Amino acid sequence: MQYRAPRGTADLLPADQKYWRYIESKALGLCRTYGFGRLDTPVFENAGLFLRSVGEGTDIVEKETYTFEDRGGEWMSLRPEGTAPVCRAYLEHGMQNRPQPVRLHYFCPVFRYERPQAGRYREHHQFGVEVIGDADPSVDAEVIEMGWAFMASLGLSGLSLVVNSIGDPDCRPAYIDQLKEHYSRHSERLCSDCRTRLERNPLRLLDCKQPGCQAMGSEAPRSSECLCDACQEHWDQLQAYLAIIGIPYRVDHRLVRGLDYYTRTVFEIQPAEEGGQSTICGGGRYDGLVEQIGGKATPGIGFATGMERMVLNLKRQEVDVPDEPAPRYLVASTGQEARNAALDIAAKMRGRGVGAILGGAGRSLRGQLRQANSLGVDYVVIVGEDELASNQVTLRNMLEGGQEPMPVDRLLGGLEGRRD
Ligand code: HAM
């Protein structure tokens, strides 16, 4: 039997690493300028954490978590999203006693048993940020602006930002009733999933992708028109702030997101072609989440971006992503004596912080030069048996052509203070 990576997972090959490192470096720069500290949480958590936060009626919890009983008889889930673990850690480490809000970011693998397709995997990776401990709409604006600035810093274009307010536990029940009434009137036209949603999670009716259900969605009552006074004020203020910042956004009353913990603000950044199906960045406010998992009432807001989807869009848009720096030197040698010396010279070069790889043993000098060409190194240090006697090497410039003999000491001396 030949093993393959499990369905819906992918190996991240060396040729693709540059995209990931590029995104990470932009994300880290962003977090530095916006003041977000890093938090890493375990790959698995108690299953109850996600049940209580993401919500029992959601696809993620009902159909997609990788949940297992461990050998001690405890139920665990591989992380299906990053926000609940961050809130759990916030509580566990007493971060509510620090100056609020606390700003955190993370990079993590995420597991969802979904039907794999382009841009949808069973293991994907997220970069996310969370601001916990401040309910002010200016924080919403700041977080949305951060997501938008992140996309711009990557060089992605043609994206759209959609925003909505889905109210809070005060005003949402009345809205849900209106929604149910609307959909019940034509329940025979609903897809089978939506018939279940009508009972279990009516908000999700709005983002069904089936044409029949979509048509009903466009005529459905709008959450942003059913807000209580406090949510209305928050929503108005957020829109005023977004106008001040000057980022282009569209209100989409069908944007509800797939996790139960959201309150008030929800938003997504979508690529031009496929819209919501391939959202690159999704987030929102979750003012009840910390309390739901055992803390005192604490507001929060954040977003997460899918690494694989960002890579997909960087490639599609042919964004010029810098190559990973490769070693600049190859040390070629012929014969055992020379190889001994080459090993020593390469180690000394690396000790000076300069990238150097050994030419392949058993290859002719010509073969090693070909190898140097295909690796794209700038220089080849040739260690020959004859030159060894006088402690000399030949330095060949692969960019400009030409070569010159020089003592090993001069070669190494010339590298002092250089860092590749
Ligand atoms: P989410 O929308 O479920 O939100 O996921 C965030 C992002 O992860 C999506 O916008 C998408 O780019 C990527 N993503 C999701 N599922 C997959 C998949 N199966 N394959 C590839 N990429 C995927 C959350 O997870 C929330 N925790 C975000 C958040 C943070 N809300 C507040 N704070």
Predicted confidence band of residue 59 (pLDDT cuts 50, 70, 90) = confident
pLDDT at position 99 over 80: yes
Residue nearest to atom 10 of ligand 1 (CA): 281
Q: What is the CA radius of gyration of the chain?
A: 28
Q: What is the pLDDT of residues 174-206, one digit of tens each?
A: 999 999 999 999 888 899 989 988 988 899 899
What is the average pLDDT score of the chain?
94
- Please count the other Cβ atoms lying within 10 Å of the Cβ belonging to residue 185: 10
**Is there an atom of ligand 1 within 6 Å of 124 CB?**
yes
The beta-carbon contacts of 187-193 under 8 Å, at least 24 apart in sequence, are 189/213, 189/216, 190/216
- The protein residue with its alpha carbon nearest to ligand 1, atom 16, reads 120
Instruction: State whether the beta carbon of 271 lies less than 6 angstroms from ligand 1.
Output: no
192-200 and 172-184 helices, crossing angle to 10°:
150
Q: Is the CB of 263 under 6 A from ligand 1?
A: no
Dist. CA 111 → ligand 1 center (Å):
10
Locate the ligand 1 atom nearest the alpha carbon of residue 309 and give its number: 12
Q: Is the CB of 112 under 6 A from ligand 1?
A: yes
Distance of CA 9 from the midpoint of ligand 1 (Å): 16
For the chain, give the percent of residues with pLDDT over 70: 98
Tell how far the Cα of 82 is from the centroid of ligand 1, in angstroms. Answer: 9
**Sorting pLDDT into bands at 50, 70 and 90, what band is 68?**
very high
Ligand 1 centroid – CA 331 distance (Å): 46
Ligand 1 contacts CB of residue 121 (under 6 A):
yes
CA distance linking residue 196 with residue 62, whole number of Å = 12
Helix or strand run (H / E) with residue 346 = helix 336-351
Q: What is the best residue among 81, 266, 274 to mutate for testing ligand 1's pocket, by most ligand atoms within 8 Å of CB?
A: 81
Whole-number pLDDT of residue 108: 98
- Indicate the pLDDT class of residue 50, thresholds 50, 70 and 90: very high
Question: Tens digit of pLDDT for each residue in 329-373?
Answer: 999 999 999 999 999 999 999 999 999 999 988 899 999 999 999
Distance from Cα 52 to the centre of ligand 1, integer Å:
18
What is the pLDDT confidence band of residue 276, given thresholds at 50, 70 and 90? low
Query: And the tokens for 188?
Result: 């025979």
Q: What residue spans in the chain does CATH classification 3.40.50.800 cover? A: 329-414
From-to residues of CATH 3.30.930.10 in the chain: 14-171+227-316
The pLDDT of residue 237 is above 70: yes
- 179 contacts 201 by C-beta, under 8 angstroms: no
Reported CATH class of domain 14-171+227-316? alpha beta
84 strand-pairing partners: none
Q: What is the CATH number of domain 329-414?
A: 3.40.50.800
